[in-house]
Amino acid sequence: MDEFIAQLPKAELHLHIEGTLEPELAFELAEKNQVTLPFKSVDDMRAAYNFSDLQSFLDLYYASISVVQTEEDFHDLTLAYLKKAAAQNVRHTEIFFDPQSHTARDIPFGTVINGITAALQEAQTELGVSSKLILSFLRHLSEESALETFQQALPFREQFIGVGLDSSEQGHPPSKFVNVFDEARREGFRVVCHAGEEGPPEYITEALDLLHAERIDHGVRCMEDAALVARLAEEQIPLTVCPLSNVRLRVFKTMSEHTLKRMLDAGLLVTVNSDDPPYFGGYVNENYEAIQKAFDLSRDDLVKLARNSFTASFLSDEEKQKLIGELPES
């Protein structure tokens, strides 16, 4: 089955570029940029990836990104991910970036997005992986900060297609960001939102009704609300689920307790993604492998998940059909 998963064409729709920093590259950049990491070695850093909840991960995620500083660094970080993705038969990716975690360190918005964009273009021509970029606002910061960030982003509007919302979920509901999402929609951007990861099902409803999210990132806690599940199934709202992330951040104790199979059985448009791969122990194929083993998924189930990943993407209908046409009959 692992071989079947490896050769399956797929899209990855929930991936934070800051969360793809491998410890080896972190140490290389720390030396180059004269930053001291709070770890003695690569092994030490990896050993620290033992999280009690979302916040304990985010603390390390924001601290580690301090080593990424120049346009070249953002390029190298992005290209390293895209090479991994290409090797796993990822044909298309929709990548989040968190500009506020860089502008807060006095790195200009343009440095970040130009470095990332250069790598995306290289991957398209040299690796055959297409990508889109989604600007994600940090929900633990104010809406004012998000509005300011959106203004900084507008001169680069051709380089990203949508906006999202991530970081510490509890206590920072989607309703806090209605104005900035209204503005982004008015400007023609696509809208997604992290909701129902650690936060309650009500945050998913808010993301849909107040932010007009077209896709929910995570969304696993929808299973606590039968009416919400019925709605998500009826409207075929895509959910970008990240199984290894959910177990590592203790949303579920073990993979067999994950709701993914029940979500599929409820007719939800579920996709499988890696979130922040080195932190959670695997890229997209390792996520497929983990759920295949936990739920004894069939080839049909796996093909369905891969098909969902293209269906749920922001590709054109024509592009989606072309990629879906490359899936095995199963």
DSSP string of 207-246, one letter each residue: HHHTS--SEEEE-GGGGG-HHHHHHHHHHT-EEEE-HHHH
Chosen from Zn ion, ligand ADE, none, partner binding at 19 (C-beta under 5 to 8 Å by type): ligand ADE
Residues in contact with ligand ADE, shown as a per-residue x/- string from 46 to 75 under the rule CB under 6 A: --------x------x--------------
- Report d(CA 177, CA 155) in Å as an integer: 21
Q: Are 130 and 168 in contact, with CB atoms under 8 Å apart?
A: no
Binding residues with ligand ADE: total (CB under 6 A): 11
138 closest CA partner among 80, 107, 180, 78: 180
- Report d(CA 314, CA 78) in Å as an integer: 20
Q: Which is nearer to ligand ADE, 113 or 323 (CB)?
A: 113
Residue 275 within binding range of Zn ion, rule CB under 5 A: yes
The amino acid sitting at 116 is I
Give the helix/strand (H/E) hosting 57. helix 54-64
Residue 169 within binding range of Zn ion, rule CB under 5 A: no
Catalytic residues: 197
Residue 172 within binding range of ligand ADE, rule CB under 6 A: no
- Report d(CA 73, CA 62) in Å as an integer: 16
Q: Which is nearer to Zn ion, 71 or 275 (CB)?
A: 275
- Report d(CA 64, CA 26) in Å as an integer: 7
Residue 276 within binding range of ligand ADE, rule CB under 6 A: yes
Residue 245 within binding range of ligand ADE, rule CB under 6 A: yes
Return the residue of 75, 102, 194, 215 that touches ligand ADE, per CB under 6 A: 194
Tokens 């044909």 sit on residue: 91
Using the contact rule CB under 5 A, the part of the chain among 31-39, 199-207, 275-283, 306-314 near Zn ion is 275-283
Q: Which is nearer to ligand ADE, 218 or 307 (CB)?
A: 218
Q: Which residue is nearest to Zn ion (CB)?
A: 275
Using CB under 5 A as the criterion, which residues of the chain lie in contact with Zn ion when the complex forms? 275
Using CB under 6 A as the criterion, which residues of the chain lie in contact with ligand ADE when the complex forms? 16, 19, 54, 61, 166-167, 194, 197, 245, 275-276
